[in-house]
Structure 1
Amino acid sequence: MDKLVSLAKRRGFVFQSSEVYGGLGSVWDYGPLGVELKRNIKERWWQAMVHSRDDIEGLDAAILMHPKVWEASGHVAGFTDPLVDCKVCKGRFRADKLGDARCPQKPSKVPGEHSACELTEPRLFNLMFKTFMGPMEETAAVVYLRPETAQGIYVNYLNVLNSTRQKIPFGIAQIGKAFRNEITPGNFIFRTREFEQMEMQFFVAPGNDEEWFERWRELRMSWHHALGLSPDKLRWHRHGDGELAHYAKAAYDIEYQFPFGWQEIEGIHNRTDFDLGRHQAASGKKLEYFEQATGARYLPYIVETSAGADRVTLTVLADAYREEEVEGELRVVLGLHPAIAPIKAAVMPLTKKDGLPEVAEQLYRELRRRTPAFYDDGG
């Protein structure tokens, strides 16, 4: 993993944020190549989820939302992780992820294993970033940075339905920033406090949810395969009864085998009518769907696909990383899929004689009008 992080900085994919001031922990900036790679991944997702389908509409909801949205969704009361402190080293760790953490004083040990460790009892820590809207820092002015993009879709469900010709089943897709005050971020851009989600919420009639759930499972895994990811490094993880979120009827994660182990890069969830039901009850606004053909009224069930743009970017980089030996020298190569590669063509004249540089530069200019290209006359 260290080699990949080094390459990412050296080649302009990802930089430590605020590096001239010593950096800010687990906050990253995308460089010239990184921003193009991530943008290509997002555009490929948008093409698959919106532009190539008649039954999905796009949305760009605000990051700041009415605080009642987060009260109704359960985030204010329940969006928490169990936190423990070490009284000796002053480190803070997720109580349910101690096996993934390391003791700051004894990196070979997990927190609590070292005899000098003294961990507190777990307490719940809310992951939402809180701020204030307007000049007064008072309770009435509290707002939150959204911890997910999904709620912006749910509260706009009627707006999209009424302003388009869509009928159930249909979906709403969104790409946008989300923020979580993670206790233990890490593994480069895998787990950060500021990240970008690519989410789609698909609204279906109750009783059809399981069929659509399986259909979206198949479609989403196929999308990752189409990125050129190694099939043997992708797998499904089914959430058992003890893992299922309170809102979920079923959930599967698409996992990738990173250098630091198997980890989730996308989740597919059957959320039932939980979300619309909560917002209908809290807002007093009827969110039921009226089916003209049958005269039935019902709250739609929701099948969610939720991928992290940063995690998929890291997955692509990790999967593309190669070390090759050429004439006794080791070189690093990124075997990126052409559709998402930040540069599609390179023009490099090998001599400065016979007008070749002029011809090469003209070729480069023509290429640039059609595709991202790179020019180097250094020889």
Structure 2
Amino acid sequence: MAEVLIVHRSQFTSLAEQVGVRTTDPQPPAACLATPNSNHTSKRASNRNPQCSALIDAKPVATPNGTYAITRDHQLTVKNQGVWAYPKNSNDTRITAIAKDQTANSNKIFARTIDNHLYYRNGDSDDWHNLGSDIVTDPTVETHTLPNGTTEEWAWGVSSDGTPWERNTKDGSSWIAMPKLSGGRKIVGNISPVANPGNRNRRYAYARDDQGHLRELMTTNAGETWHWNDLGNAGTALASSPTAVNTTPSKGSPVLWIDAIDKNGNLSEYYYNWGSTETNWRDRGNNGSPLKKMTPSLIGISSGTGTGRHISFEPHVSGSVSQLMGNDGDDTWWYTKSSPGEDSIVSPMDASQYAVGAGYTHYAYGIDNKGNLQTEGIDEGHGIASWTNEGHI
């Protein structure tokens, strides 16, 4: 049997990356390198080592068009209806991170390349659109309806000097620098933007600072001016970037949930009710063993019980995965814990939900220690978790 080539992002971390800002991205082994041209692109070599098709431990992205992941030589691949493929122009950029927009049923993909350029494309038939450079964090995306009723989209990232930036994805737009934190503090890691579901003038973005506090960047005038709030933590310094999501119950006010992993490997959760303004922090623990200090997977889900629920899929240091389930009454519990056979999950996870009969099945997507895509299905009604090894291209 051929030797399995395993390369993890953790092998290439710098001190800056350990606090959340990646300045050194994982480089493919020499056997996987193609010769880049002057436009920072690279073609897959005809004599490409088959081991280069395995996947790096970057977060995969699930869309209606299939599930996207990145190979060892930084090429974009997609699995759709059981078949792996390279999308159009997938080898025109060397990609290190991908993201999707927040619009339901959208196939728009955002990508950051190893030279810190940010791109997007509207489905596999589209060309890449270059949004610019010097974004050293994973891209995140915000969709927001403005006071005039138009819906627009912004890409977010952090530059090498720690400044958060946003850019409207419309042609002709430019990057806008956000204010820096006071007192010499810096933002580290990824930005998680959300909209206020009841006020179109208000937009929000959440991030972790270099002392482990959750920070809120907000505007009350549709983006004309911004300011920071310090939301603290649940008692222990945060060690991962946060993920924020709104849930809308069938009764009552929408609720904002923000999850992050603390330095002890526990999940910290921030709760905010948009109607009553009730807010609190909770230390949700770790379901029996420490969690990896990676950006949490968090989605708002529908429910027939009269509340909007949220679910978070979190890999443990051991490589198994647990799910934290909660509803808008601040009733939250660990749901199930499982692992993909003898393999372990080494990447942040994406998640989705599909209606099945009268209930729902939730899916989580992660990369295992052998460079394969793993899909976990959760039957909410029965607490059954099953894994499928999707392999790689």
Instruction: Give TM-score scaled by structure 1 length.
Output: 0.28
Which one has a larger percent strand, Structure 1 or Structure 2? 2
Which one has a larger percent helix, Structure 1 or Structure 2? 1
Point out the structure with max Rg over C-alpha.
1
